[in-house]
């Protein structure tokens, strides 16, 4: 399959600006880019769609460019947002850029990495108005969905700062067209207005054709954003989301979603994916399709060694267990034995372990029968953990059917 044919089969094409794009990419190798603003020091699961779109392009011989927004990150993109973004400090932006760059170099091998802060640093305000702003009417900008949606909310509205974001992104496309021969921009479906503004700027100033391709948002079968867990976003940084939690997130994908996620998020070929889907339908209780999904993605992001640890930890926690046997990779923390001497409130243990976000949430879970200590259900909200709960130096906490945490007594 050609690049675009593969993207369509995988369900990764939302919109294209020109119906000829598939034939163009089949006949020549294009330079293409996608941009990411440094709102955090790590990518999250939702970013995998555009990141992997660049990686897939490279596998088809195209030339990917990954842009990190040192300039646009200082402004904030209004697309898909109901409220104004909080402005980040220069120090925070620099730290976020460094974290994203390290991940990008590994995830999209061979990509040219650029930072739009490099070409906007010396751009004067008046120069930008004359060279770029002159080519856009306010009428056209107001018609873009990202702007119109915010204008309809009289309480939030949109600042001039965020209103100008579209022009900055349009100039990014022009700059990459001029300096890297870039002719295609890809991004999330909410980016359509920003991307097509770049097409218009290239057409007006260079009389050249450029193209846009947007990608669908990563949603589950219920229409909710994929990549959110009880603890928040699922990050690629192992310090923010452990490889074990990352593996478990994908292993828990619903049967209705696993086929779609295999196509959208892995690099397995069509025949393999269809075989895995068929095996999953034949014996859904074995969760083999989920296992393949979790294994492929954890290996891509964290490496084969961390995948092996995550699977060993899961086998120990969900299968027959030997008391005290908590292998590397299992979610665990140390607890001073002295804290058990007078009794340690289970509510506090649930919060400190991260199984619950707050004491009120912990109490609700306990009252609802969803909390276990060493596989024994505990519903008394004033329950105290003591030294007698330790099994070979370990107290195993569980929330619901699948969320475990081991307290290792020291």
Residue 149 neighbours by CB under 8 Å, 6+ apart: none
Q: What residue spans define the domains of the chain?
A: 3-215, 228-318, 332-409
* H or E segment and range at residue 113: strand 112-115
DSSP bridge pairs for 114: 67
Same fold for the domain at 3-215 and the one at 228-318? no
- β-pair type (403-409, 332-335): parallel
**Cα(129)–Cα(126) distance, integer angstroms:** 5
| Backbone φ and ψ of 227, nearest 5° | 110, 10
pLDDT number for residue 1? 86
Mean pLDDT per 10-residue run, the chain (410 residues)? 95 97 96 95 95 97 96 78 72 93 92 95 90 90 78 74 90 97 96 93 96 93 78 90 92 93 97 96 91 97 95 72 56 88 92 92 93 89 90 86 84
CATH class of this structure's domain 228-318: mainly alpha
Residue 344's SS3 state is strand
* Residue-by-residue DSSP string for 260-309: HHHHHH----HHHHHHHHHHHHH-GGG-HHHHHHHHHHHHHHH-HHHHHH
Question: Of the candidates 193, 244, 238, which has an alpha carbon nearest to the alpha carbon of residue 405?
Answer: 244
| Backbone φ and ψ of 20, nearest 5° | -85, -5
pLDDT number for residue 144? 76
CATH class of this structure's domain 332-409: alpha beta
**Cα(172)–Cα(65) distance, integer angstroms:** 12
Question: Of the candidates 29, 32, 18, 23, which has an alpha carbon nearest to the alpha carbon of residue 4?
Answer: 23
Instruction: Give the Cα-Cα-Cα angle 147, 151, 152 (nearest 5 degrees).
Output: 120
Residue with tokens 């195209």: 62
- β-pair type (112-115, 63-68): parallel
Fold for domain 3-215?
Answer: Rossmann fold (3.40.50)
Q: What is the greatest pairwise CA distance in the chain?
A: 78
Residue 363's SS3 state is helix
DSSP class of 82: S
Segment 116-125 long-range contacts (CB within 8 Å, at least 24 positions apart): 116/35, 116/67, 116/68, 116/69, 116/70, 116/71, 116/72, 116/168, 116/172, 116/175, 117/69, 117/70, 117/71, 118/70, 119/71, 119/175, 120/70, 120/71, 120/168, 120/171, 121/71
Whats the size of the chain, residue-wise?
410
**Cα(253)–Cα(36) distance, integer angstroms:** 26
pLDDT number for residue 221? 80
Q: Say if residues 248 and 297 touch (Cβ distance below 8 Å).
A: no
């Amino acid at each position: 399959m050609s690049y675009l044919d593969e993207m369509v089969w995988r369900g990764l094409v939302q919109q294209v600006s020109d119906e000829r794009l598939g034939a163009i990419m089949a006949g020549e190798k294009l330079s293409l880019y996608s941009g990411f603003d440094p709102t955090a020091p790590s990518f999250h699961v939702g970013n995998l769609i555009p990141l992997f779109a660049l990686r897939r392009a490279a596998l088809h011989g195209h030339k990917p460019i990954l842009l990190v927004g040192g300039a646009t990150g200082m402004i904030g993109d209004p697309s898909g947002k109901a409220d104004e973004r909080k402005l980040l400090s220069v120090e925070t932006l620099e730290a976020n850029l460094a974290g994203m760059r390290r991940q990008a170099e590994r995830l999209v091998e061979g990509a040219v990495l650029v930072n739009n802060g490099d070409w906007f640093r010396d751009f004067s305000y008046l120069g930008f108005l004359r060279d770029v702003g002159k080519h856009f009417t306010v009428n056209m900008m107001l018609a873009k969905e990202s702007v119109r949606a915010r204008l309809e909310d009289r309480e939030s509205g949109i600042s001039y700062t965020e209103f100008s974001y579209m022009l900055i992104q349009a100039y990014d496309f022009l700059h990459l067209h001029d300096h890297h021969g870039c002719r295609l921009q890809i991004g999330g479906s909410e980016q359509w207005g920003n991307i097509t503004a770049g097409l218009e700027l290239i057409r007006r100033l260079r009389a050249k054709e450029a193209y846009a391709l947007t990608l669908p948002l990563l949603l589950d079968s219920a229409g909710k954003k994929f990549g959110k867990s009880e603890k928040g976003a699922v990050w690629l940084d192992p310090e923010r989301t452990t490889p074990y939690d990352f593996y478990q997130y994908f292993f828990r994908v619903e049967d209705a979603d696993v086929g779609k996620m295999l196509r959208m998020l892995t690099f397995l070929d069509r025949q393999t994916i269809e075989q895995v889907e068929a095996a999953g339908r034949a014996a859904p209780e074995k969760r083999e399709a989920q296992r393949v999904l979790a294994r492929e993605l954890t290996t891509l992001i964290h490496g084969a060694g961390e995948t092996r640890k995550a699977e060993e930890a899961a086998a120990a926690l969900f299968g027959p267990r030997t008391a005290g046997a908590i292998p590397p990779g299992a979610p665990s923390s140390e607890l001073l034995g002295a804290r058990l001497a007078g009794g340690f409130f289970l509510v506090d243990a649930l919060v400190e372990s991260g199984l619950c976000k707050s004491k009120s949430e912990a109490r609700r879970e306990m009252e609802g029968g969803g909390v276990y200590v060493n596989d024994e259900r505990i519903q008394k909200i004033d329950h105290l953990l003591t030294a007698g709960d330790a099994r070979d130096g370990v107290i195993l906490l569980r929330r619901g059917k699948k969320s475990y945490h081991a307290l290792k007594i020291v």
